[in-house]
Amino acid sequence: MRIYSLLTLLASLQAALAQQTAPNHEECYEMPVVIVSALDRSFPDPTCNQLRYPADDCLKDAVQTRVEVIDNGDGKLNCINGERTAVFEHSKSNYRGQTSLFFAKHQFNIKFPEDTSFLGMVENKAFVMNGPFLDCTLLRNHLAHWLYRSTGRYSVKTRHTVVYMRTDPAQENPQYSGIFLLLEKPTYDKNHVNLASIDATCAARNPKVMNGGWAWSNDPPSYGSYSPNMVIDQYQNEFGMGERPVLAHPSGSSLSQQMRDYFVNTETGFLPQMYRVLWNNMTAPLELQKHLDLGSFADYLLHTEMSLNVDAYRRSTFFFKDRDQPINAGPVWDFNLAYGNGARRHFKDWIYPQYTYWKRLMCHSQLASLVIQRWKTLRGTNMQKADDPVFGVWSDEAISKFLDASSAPVHRQLSKCRGGDWRSDVVQCAVVDLKTCNGTYADQVTEMRESILDRAQWMDERIEQLYKPLDAKTCSGVGDLPKFNCGLDGNDDGCLKNAEKYYNAVTFPPVRKPYTGPSCEEIVANNADTTNGEEMAAQMTPYQKPSVDYCWRSAGSYVYPQQKGVKDKTLTPFCSGYGSCAQGPGATCNCSAAIQVEHPSCRRIDAENEHYKREQQRIAAAAAAAVKTSTVVDTQTESSEKEGVLNNGSPVSDTMAVLAAAGAGVVLLVLGTWLVKEHGRRRRRQRLSEYTPVRYGSVEHARIFASQANV
């Protein structure tokens, strides 16, 4: 009877499990459904085989995938068993993020082999499936990009989707993964930011093209990313935070040494030049607009301040420069920890003064006036700009309407959540953090709305206070400073009494239009010295041809998750992790002498190299010889004992033989212990010269590095 009851219980559990994992005809959604299936191998997990650093994070390894879409439109439901409206057989997907790699809900990239219109988005090769996990509303990135697009500037399109995944090719049924936010990946082609093209061939033929077509960000460099080898002088140290930017466009591997030198040279590079203007020209504020699109910086600053983003101004902060145009701020990115979510939830101050660069910018009268004017226009309180297309787009009413319209379908979906807990990973639920997402979904949306509107009101009350007396503390104490940031006359303090007269006196710059001059292809084709691309390529010098610069190519900054944030300090940030560079143009890697490396990359030579194969063979031969020697000693001892017994069978002789055998055993034990320890010491000395795949998070083998004295 007990056996029968147990079998019945097991059958019930199996049925319940099957019901949870198998697609059900009732699994229908208002949102489009996306099914991502692994084809060639499983998506990685924390036990993946991590190669010795520097290397790609194995958790981000790409997988060949098939992407199926169910998007019926016209208000029809999209059911998991319904007809597929689109199928993409050839795509690659990989997990993305840093901390989020270890969340229960993974965000991931989807890459297509060619430009693709995916779920109604503008054609692109790359898209991001953002998996809101800490954002309990699932709306923060959706809101952030809508707000920025409302200013008339480019920001990625977004759309909520439901995601199912087969993370293993052998998995029969796709598993529910939750509600995601599909985003375009910020790119710089004609369909998105739309920068002028730039390449090595074009730069070789006409060096003037190098003044545009660039994009970069403030971010920690990751493995394989390219970071300009800036001269960290007093200007870069003061306004560039003493850090390198990370190149976002063009591809680092497509650059020539000529292009790299142009970017970092203090005489030609637009970043070094702009920092010098900030240092030397504060009393000539019109000079700044030659280097910066002040309208874009005003919109970016206001968007950032209202968001209360934890990463504000220091991470995921993008800039670009088009040809023959000043530097633009944007596009915006990454707002999971914003709008009342994260450490700045109750922050009651301006964020920008924490960063010297932005603090200095706001001491310029032109930008200060534009920021105040634009805020009041966006909020719908500057009646002199009532006919402006962006008038009131950030008003309380506009923001509330957007949140109501965006949260309604999510709320309706979560009302169908099985099991009743909208936060859980059960089918039709949100899959968000159970520790922080308290209350109902409606409570979370209300809390976010109150946070945004409270911050906007705080800024309403203090926006005119951005006009102020200036001093070294307010503006950074370098160079000459005006007394006030009211107008072109640095001694004029009238804005402190009548702000409107001053901020409306400055014309807000029109939103940037893409470069329309000749493309790189046209420049090369029209050049009298060449008839085709092949001839041009043949004429280019090594300095002008694309090449890899290991002073730019990052080795990454690695943190071991299993060690609670402990960094590996033995690796250098560039030169493949085993060298260093001088600053500025023309620098090459100075490789470590502590280990065997290739030149000029400083890439360590691994066990596959013949030199180390011979070393390993030598070590193995020595170990084998030691074993052979101990075997010979054992044989000789045994023979001596037998001979002693035959020649002298007295009790005394027997005792001596036993003592001799015991002594020989002790000697062999000591010798064996020494050999084992010596072999271990040799292996540790050779560790850096061997390739040993290790399990992700392990620190026993390939993550123990010897000291490097000459790096």
Mean pLDDT, contiguous 10-residue spans, the chain (711 residues) = 45 44 67 97 87 83 97 93 96 90 92 95 96 97 98 97 97 96 94 93 93 95 94 95 94 96 97 96 93 98 97 95 96 96 90 97 98 99 98 98 98 90 94 94 97 98 98 94 96 97 97 87 70 62 95 80 52 92 95 88 69 54 64 52 46 60 73 70 47 38 33 33
495 and 463 fall within a common domain: yes
Tell me if 19 is assigned to some domain.
Answer: no
Classified as helix, coil or strand, 20 is helix
CA dist., res. 385 & res. 509, Å (int): 14
pLDDT at residue number 418:
83
CA dist., res. 59 & res. 46, Å (int): 7
228 and 327 fall within a common domain: yes
* Tokens of residue 247, six digits: 């190149």
Taking the CA atoms of residue 309, residue 310, residue 316 and residue 321 in that order, the dihedral angle to the nearest 10 degrees is 50
Classified as helix, coil or strand, 143 is helix
225 and 171 fall within a common domain: no
625 and 492 fall within a common domain: no
Chosen domain end from 503, 534, 569: 503
- The boundaries of the domain holding residue 429 are 200-503
Tell me if 558 is assigned to some domain.
Answer: no
312 and 221 fall within a common domain: yes
175 and 209 fall within a common domain: no
Tell me if 106 is assigned to some domain.
Answer: yes
| b/e sequence 641-675, b meaning 16+ C-beta within 10 Å | beebeeeeeeeeeeeebeeeeeebeeeeeeeeeeb
Helix axes 441-462, 294-307, angle to 10 degrees: 130
171 and 266 fall within a common domain: no
Helix axes 441-462, 365-379, angle to 10 degrees: 130
CA dist., res. 711 & res. 701, Å (int): 22
pLDDT at residue number 695:
40
Tell me if 510 is assigned to some domain.
Answer: no
The kind and range of the H/E element at 329 are strand 327-329
pLDDT at residue number 680:
58
Tell me if 562 is assigned to some domain.
Answer: no
163 and 241 fall within a common domain: no
Residue 303 and residue 267 in contact, taking contact as beta carbons nearer than 8 Å: no
Residue 154 vs residues 122, 149, 230: alpha-carbon distances, Å: 12, 6, 28
pLDDT at residue number 664:
72
> Smallest Cα–Cα separation from 299: which of 235, 372, 234?
372
* Tokens of residue 244, six digits: 């390198």
Q: How many domains does the chain have?
A: 3
Tell me if 557 is assigned to some domain.
Answer: no
Tell me if 580 is assigned to some domain.
Answer: no
213 and 179 fall within a common domain: no
At 398, give phi and psi (nearest 5°): -65, -40
Residue 482 vs residues 196, 316, 359: alpha-carbon distances, Å: 37, 32, 14
Chosen domain end from 452, 469, 503: 503
Indicate the residue type of 37: S
217 and 168 fall within a common domain: no
Tell me if 637 is assigned to some domain.
Answer: yes
Residue 506 vs residues 107, 285, 405, 509: alpha-carbon distances, Å: 43, 13, 36, 9
Contacts of 253-256 with C-beta under 8 Å, sequence gap 24+, read: 253/226, 253/546, 253/548, 254/199, 254/200, 254/546, 255/200, 255/226, 255/546, 255/547, 255/549, 255/552, 256/200, 256/203, 256/204, 256/543, 256/544, 256/545, 256/546, 256/547
Residue 363 vs residues 3, 448, 469, 655: alpha-carbon distances, Å: 81, 32, 9, 97
CA dist., res. 195 & res. 189, Å (int): 6
Classified as helix, coil or strand, 28 is strand
Chosen domain end from 503, 523, 545: 503
164 and 247 fall within a common domain: no
Residue 37 vs residues 22, 40, 86, 130: alpha-carbon distances, Å: 15, 10, 14, 17
30 and 98 fall within a common domain: yes
pLDDT at residue number 618:
63
- Indicate the DSSP class of residue 313: T
pLDDT at residue number 675:
77
Residue 124 and residue 111 in contact, taking contact as beta carbons nearer than 8 Å: no
